[in-house]
Each structure stands twice: as structure tokens, then as C-alpha cells.
């Protein structure tokens, strides 16, 4: 795409005049509307003015580049105005603006136009190019000047990339970014690099624009750099620069004062001199194996959570609706689907939850191998849910069950390294055929390889899951009630949605089926229902305990973790254990034992009090249906057991977890416990 593909004679005015900044912006909006790419001109104009309120787009030297990325822009467009007499624009240097380009960018993932717009913005830094545009006699000449300059710019960019490749290491590093990431990000990049070259330094600049991160800084780049300049109006992760001289400035300063910023950066204070830089993740070979596994696993978990939360809450609403409709006590395993509205919520929520394992595996693979790994990983995650796709089933015909959570994790790692292997195996392909790899080689051979891998892996993981279930069944057959209640509740907190959790849950729901059989005694029914109550209370405690801990001991959590923890109150009360996963994944040595202990205590008390539950899910919404045990107060003793387990987990977390250095506490400093 060329710059002239985004601009036409209809959106150019080479003889504009205006009395004020507001006036010229309104004229520019009216001009760009002639492109036909703006569906709501008034809304687009509001966006342009809102962007100006953040900071002026008058960058100095007689240039202004106002811009807006909006849903009302259906395709990218440019408007250009030459204001020969100039107009006051609150520019950074206080000078009038003679040349204005207005950018309209669609709010879509397709950012092919951004490279073009960034090229234009950096071209405008050339005084000769500006002078020619201002002096153009016709719109046709104006477009021709842009065309010629763009050809030169592309050649210069290609040459610069070759030179950067030869450099290897850089004296200076930079990071640029603005809220919209359309123009100023790249102008700051260009000016910083030009200033560095003039001062006799080599420099690499990472851009954080609308097209994503460009020229990402690697561990080697950071290790060898003398200083880092951050010229950005957005939040930039600076922890990776610990031990380096770091200077922070605005993106406007990056454009107008690049030399001053570089000189200040070389004499800036060292950021956290006693701490090592955080690895950026671009050099897997230099990270420990454990850290690599953790990083890839967390990528899968973080992308999986929206499906868990969204699907889980919709399912909880289904149980609430069925409860309000009076179906909780008699629905049995059909609870949540009796009422038509409840059934709709249960169906949609279930579909969301069903995507959990494919998403988990897909984004583990994505973290390892990039975009080509995503599809292969998702297929592997889906296969992990299929109980009859295994070598054991083909040989014996016996259904061992699916490989589940463990199988999906294995699928994600297998898919990622399959793609890496294919990339290495096909590196001989010429550059002209590079496009065939992501479109043909990776999906076809990747699907084939992951299919074979999961055909073999499903069997051992299914045996692990089956072994856990058989152990529970043995305890059930011997009716070791209290021990089994403690064990089931504790298991619900071990992997929080993984195979151990699922084994306990499946056992609990199987007990409901046992209780529903004809001819069984009331005593046996109560035993079965008590096991289901222990399972549910064990799954409710971890998220509730973490949420309470974040309230009581805020010094143990970051500000964002405390904010996210509040959702766990809803998750826990809805019997969605997975809300605790991010906290357990970050600090498993402390969080998991605390959660298991709290769940086990809750399960013990619930079983001791004889709390019996007939519904397989629902959390707080089905507590009023709990019966037997201590008569009409059974539901109250269930709540007492839940509160006790929640406090055990919260207090243990307060004792075990270390204080968080980035807690950002306000007036409430939290409870301090002596260890």
C-alpha cells in the first residue's frame, strides 16, 4: 500500500486558510469526509478533538498531524491542507502551522495502513520535502511529490535495516509510543535514531504503536546498551531495564528534543542498580527450562480464564434461575436445564467452558512458536477432550475417559515444539515460498503430527485420571465418610479445574446417580449427598479464601491482583474454583497448600454436620436446598463450614506469602501476622 492510496485530490486543499486551531480542524474533518470512509462525521470530529486534548499534534517546524482511530472509520484515509499564511495550533515550538495532514484510521485488527502512515509522518521531518509540498501549485503536483519521496524513503529504510543487521549491538536503546500509536510513535523513533547517528552512536528503537510492538528489544540489546530513552505517553514496562541508565520523557520531546534526551540519558541515574533486568522473553535459550515452561503455561492460562469466568458465571445464573423456579430439590443431574431460560444460560455457558482446553493448549503453543502454533495447539487441546481417540481404545475398545487438563497442557507444549521443528526442517525453502509455510506446511503437517502425538498421549494421562477416580471409589465403597469428605474437598483445591479436581467432582456427581437408584436406603442416600456437599464446598473455598486474603493482607498482593481478587468472591460463591488459578500459578508453593488446607477443613465440617446436597453445581444458589444432617439448619451449618474454610485459607496465605514490593498500599496497611 502506498501513501497515495489513502489520499486523493478530493481530500487535498493547497490554499486553505483559518483563524484558529478549532477552525482548521473542522475544515480538515469536512475535507476527509469527502473520502466516503467516515460513517459518522460528527463522532469522528469528537475523536479528533479528544485526541488534541491529550496533547497537541502540532509537532513544530510548521507541521501538524492530527489523527483519530475510531469505529466510525470504515477504511483508512488521509486529508492534507497547505495553510500558506499559517494558523496558530498550540504547537510544541509555538510556531504557526503551514502543513497539516489529518489521519483517519479504522479501529480494526487489520493495521496494514499503519506502516504507510508511519512512513508519511517520518517523511515530514525532511525540510526539503515539506518545502516542496507547501510550494506545490496543483493537487496533482502535490501527490507526485509524495510519490517520489516515498520511493526514496523505502530505499532508505531498506538500507537502514541492512546497516542495523551489521551493527549487532547498539550503544543506545529507545522505546516510543503514543496513545493512538499512529504517527508520533514513529516520528519520535526517526528523530531519536537520526540524533544518535549525528552524535556518533548506534541506536535501536522499539515502537509500541497500533500495529503492535515493532523492533522489540532483546536481552542482548539491553545487556550491551549504555542507556535507554523512553519517549512515550503510554505505560511502558521498564522493569526489564533494571541496572541501566533510563530516561523517561514524552513522545513530543522525543520528536522535538532528541539530542537533549540522549545526552541526559547517558548521564541519568541507574534504575534499580541492585536488581537484574527482567528477561524480555526473546531469547528462550538463555532462560532456565523452568522459567520457559512457566512462561508458556501462563500464556495459556491467561487466555483461558475469560472462557472459565464467562462460561462459569452463565452456568451459575442457570442454577439460580432453576432455583428461583423451584426446581433445585427435584432436578437431580438435570439441575440448571429444567427451566427454558436456565437451559439457555447453561447451554451457552457450557459451550464457553468447552473451549477452555483448546484455548489453553492453543496459547501455550502460540507462546512457544508464535501464530503458526495456535491452530495446531487448539486442535491438540480439543483432542484432549475426546475419550475414544487413543491407542488404548483402538486396541481394547475400553473407554478410559479423556486426558483432560493434563492432556491439554501436554498438547500445547507438543504443538509448539512441533511447529519449531517444522520451521527448522523447512528452512531450506526459498524466500519466495515463505508464504507457503503458514498457509500449507504448518497447518497440514502440524495437524498430522499433533494428531499422532495425542493418539499416544491420551492413554497415559487417561490412566492417571482413572487411577485417581478408582482410589476415590474404593474409599466410597468402604463408606469412610469423614476421611472421604476431607479428601474430596481437599482434592478440589489441588489443581483447581485440573484432573485431580475433575476426578473429585466426577466422583461427587456419580454419588448423586448412586443415590437416585431404586432400592437404596435413606442412610446410603444421605452418605452420597454428603459427598456431593463436600465436593462443592471444597471448590468454593480457594477463590473465596484468596479474595478475603487480599482484603485482610493487601501488602501480600499487587494493586492489580487485589482488584482482580474481588471477582473471586463471585467466582467462589458460584462454585467456580478456576478463579484461584492465576494466584496459584504465580506462587504455587504457598497458595496451593493454603487452599487445600482451607478446603479440607470445610469438607470435614460439612461432612461432620451431615450437610447433604442433591444438586451437582450452583454454589450459593443451591445452598437453601441442603437438607438432612442437622434438620432444617443443615444449610446454616454448610455456611458455617464454608466461612471456616475460607478463613483458614486466608489466614494461612497471610502467614505464608511474602510481602509484595509493588503493593502500592493506601491508608489500609493490612493485618500483620507473626510467623
- pLDDT tens figures, 57-97: 887 788 888 888 888 988 888 999 999 999 999 887 788 99
Whole-angstrom Cα distance, residue 125 to residue 194?
11
Does the predicted model carry a pTM greater than 0.75? no
Beta strands 212-214; 203-209: pairing state: antiparallel
| Contact in structure between 494 and 592 (CB atoms under 8 Å) | yes
pLDDT at 476 over 60: no
The SS3 of residue 84 is strand
Residue 303 designated active-site? no
Whole-angstrom Cα distance, residue 179 to residue 170?
27
Percentage of the chain lying above the pLDDT 90 cut: 27
Q: What is the pLDDT of residue 165?
A: 60
pLDDT at 156 over 50: yes
**Residue of 68, 113, 178, 449 marked active site:** 178
Whole-angstrom Cα distance, residue 633 to residue 641?
13
Mean pLDDT of all residues in the chain?
81
DSSP codes joined into one string, 245-267 = EEEEE-HHHHHH-HHHHHHHHHT
Q: What is the pLDDT of residue 282?
A: 44
Enumerate residues 6+ apart whose C-beta is below 8 A from 421. none
Q: What is the pLDDT of residue 238?
A: 79
The SS3 of residue 501 is helix
Phi, psi of 336 (to 5 degrees): 100, -5
Whole-angstrom Cα distance, residue 585 to residue 495?
10
Question: What Rg value do the Cα atoms of the chain yield, rounded?
Answer: 31
Could you give the domains of the chain?
3-108+130-153 (3.40.930.10), 168-279 (3.40.50.2300)
Q: What is the pLDDT of residue 280?
A: 45
Whole-angstrom Cα distance, residue 417 to residue 421?
6
Q: What is the pLDDT of residue 515?
A: 64
pLDDT at 198 over 50: yes
CA distances from 347 to 311, 336, 340, 341, 353 (A): 9, 9, 10, 10, 10
Q: What is the pLDDT of residue 229?
A: 93
Specify which of 149-158, 210-219, 361-370, 509-518 reaches the highest per-range mean pLDDT.
361-370
Question: Which residue reads 537484574 in cell numbers?
Answer: 276
**344 vs 183 pLDDT, higher one:** 344
Torsion angle of C-alpha atoms 306, 309, 313, 314, degrees rounded to 10: 30
pLDDT per position as a tens digit, 92-137: 778 899 999 998 888 776 554 556 666 777 788 788 888 999 999 9
pLDDT at 42 over 80: yes
Residue 296 designated active-site? no
Please report the beta strands in 293-363, taking only residues with DSSP state E, as ranges in sequence order: none
pLDDT at 298 over 70: no
Among 607, 646, 647, which Cα is nearest to 630's? Answer: 607
Q: What is the pLDDT of residue 210?
A: 54
Amino acid at each position: 500500500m502506498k501513501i497515495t492510496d489513502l489520499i486523493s485530490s478530493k481530500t487535498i486543499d493547497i490554499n486553505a486558510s483559518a483563524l484558529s486551531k478549532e477552525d482548521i480542524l473542522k475544515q480538515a474533518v469536512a475535507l476527509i469526509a469527502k473520502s466516503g470512509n467516515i460513517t459518522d462525521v460528527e463522532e469522528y470530529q469528537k475523536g479528533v478533538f479528544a485526541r488534541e486534548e491529550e496533547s497537541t499534534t502540532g509537532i513544530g517546524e510548521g507541521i501538524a498531524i492530527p489523527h483519530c482511530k475510531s469505529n466510525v472509520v470504515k477504511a483508512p484515509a488521509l486529508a492534507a491542507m497547505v495553510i500558506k499564511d499559517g494558523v496558530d495550533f498550540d504547537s510544541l515550538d509555538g510556531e504557526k502551522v503551514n502543513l497539516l495532514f489529518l489521519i483517519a484510521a479504522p479501529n480494526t485488527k487489520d493495521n496494514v495502513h499503519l506502516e504507510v502512515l508511519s512512513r508519511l509522518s517520518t517523511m515530514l521531518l525532511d525540510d526539503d520535502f515539506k518545502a516542496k509540498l507547501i510550494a506545490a501549485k496543483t493537487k496533482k503536483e502535490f501527490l507526485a511529490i509524495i510519490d517520489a519521496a516515498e520511493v526514496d524513503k523505502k530505499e532508505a529504510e531498506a538500507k537502514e535495516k541492512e546497516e542495523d543487521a551489521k551493527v549487532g549491538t547498539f550503544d543506545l536503546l529507545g522505546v516510543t509510543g503514543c496513545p493512538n500509536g499512529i504517527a508520533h510513535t514513529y516520528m519520535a523513533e526517526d528523530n531519536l535514531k537520526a540524533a544518535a547517528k549525528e552524535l556518533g552512536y548506534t541506536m535501536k528503537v522499539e515502537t509500541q504503536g497500533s500495529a503492535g510492538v515493532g523492533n522489540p528489544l532483546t536481552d542482548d540489546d539491553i545487556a550491551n546498551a549504555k542507556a535507554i530513552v523512553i519517549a512515550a505517553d503510554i505505560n511502558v514496562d521498564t522493569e526489564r531495564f533494571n541496572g541501566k541508565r533510563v530516561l523517561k520523557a514524552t513522545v513530543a520531546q522525543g520528536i522535538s528534543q532528541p539530542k537533549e534526551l540522549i545526552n541526559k540519558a547517558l548521564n541519568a541515574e541507574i534504575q534499580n542498580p541492585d536488581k537484574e533486568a527482567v528477561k524480555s522473553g526473546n531469547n528462550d535459550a538463555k532462560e532456565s527450562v523452568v522459567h520457559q515452561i512457566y512462561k508458556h503455561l501462563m500464556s495459556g492460562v491467561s487466555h483461558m480464564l475469560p472462557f472459565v469466568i464467562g462460561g462459569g458465571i452463565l452456568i451459575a445464573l442457570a442454577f439460580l434461575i432453576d432455583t428461583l423456579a423451584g426446581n433445585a430439590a427435584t432436578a437431580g443431574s438435570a439441575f440448571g436445564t429444567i427451566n427454558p431460560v436456565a437451559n439457555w444460560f447453561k447451554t451457552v455457558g457450557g459451550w464457553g467452558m468447552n473451549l477452555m482446553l483448546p484455548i489453553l493448549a492453543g496459547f501455550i503453543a502460540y507462546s512457544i512458536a508464535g501464530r503458526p502454533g495456535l491452530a495446531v495447539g487448539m486442535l491438540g487441546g480439543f483432542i484432549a477432550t475426546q475419550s475414544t481417540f487413543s491407542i488404548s481404545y483402538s486396541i481394547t475398545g475400553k473407554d478410559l475417559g479423556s486426558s483432560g487438563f493434563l492432556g491439554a497442557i501436554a498438547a500445547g507444549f507438543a504443538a509448539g515444539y512441533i511447529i519449531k521443528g517444522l520451521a527448522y526442517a523447512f528452512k531450506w525453502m526459498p524466500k519466495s515460498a515463505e508464504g507457503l509455510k503458514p498457509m500449507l506446511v504448518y497447518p497440514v503437517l502440524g495437524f498430522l503430527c499433533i494428531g499422532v502425538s495425542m493418539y499416544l498421549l491420551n492413554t497415559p494421562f487417561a490412566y492417571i485420571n482413572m487411577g485417581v477416580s478408582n482410589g476415590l471409589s474404593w474409599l466410597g465403597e468402604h463408606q469412610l465418610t469423614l476421611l472421604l469428605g476431607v479428601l474430596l474437598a481437599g482434592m478440589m483445591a489441588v489443581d483447581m479445574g485440573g484432573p485431580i479436581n475433575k476426578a473429585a467432582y466426577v466422583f461427587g456427581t456419580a454419588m448423586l446417580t448412586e443415590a437416585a437408584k431404586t432400592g437404596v436406603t435413606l442412610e446410603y442416600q444421605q452418605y452420597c449427598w454428603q459427598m456431593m456437599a463436600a465436593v462443592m464446598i471444597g471448590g468454593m473455598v480457594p477463590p473465596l479464601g484468596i479474595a478475603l486474603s487480599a482484603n485482610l493482607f493487601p501488602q501480600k498482593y499487587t494493586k492489580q491482583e487485589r482488584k482482580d481478587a474481588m471477582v473471586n468472591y463471585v467466582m467462589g460463591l458460584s462454585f467456580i474454583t478456576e478463579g484461584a488459578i492465576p494466584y496459584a500459578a504465580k506462587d504455587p508453593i504457598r497458595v496451593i497448600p493454603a487452599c487445600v488446607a482451607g478446603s479440607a477443613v470445610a469438607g470435614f465440617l460439612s461432612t461432620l454436620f451431615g450437610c447433604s446436597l442433591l444438586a451437582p453445581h450452583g454454589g450459593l444458589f443451591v445452598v437453601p436446598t441442603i437438607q438432612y444432617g442437622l434438620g432444617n439448619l443443615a444449610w446454616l451449618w454448610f455456611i458455617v463450614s464454608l466461612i471456616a474454610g475460607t478463613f483458614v485459607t486466608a489466614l494461612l496465605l497471610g502467614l505464608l506469602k511474602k510481602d509484595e514490593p509493588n503493593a502500592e498500599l493506601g491508608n489500609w496497611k493490612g493485618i500483620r501476622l507473626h510467623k
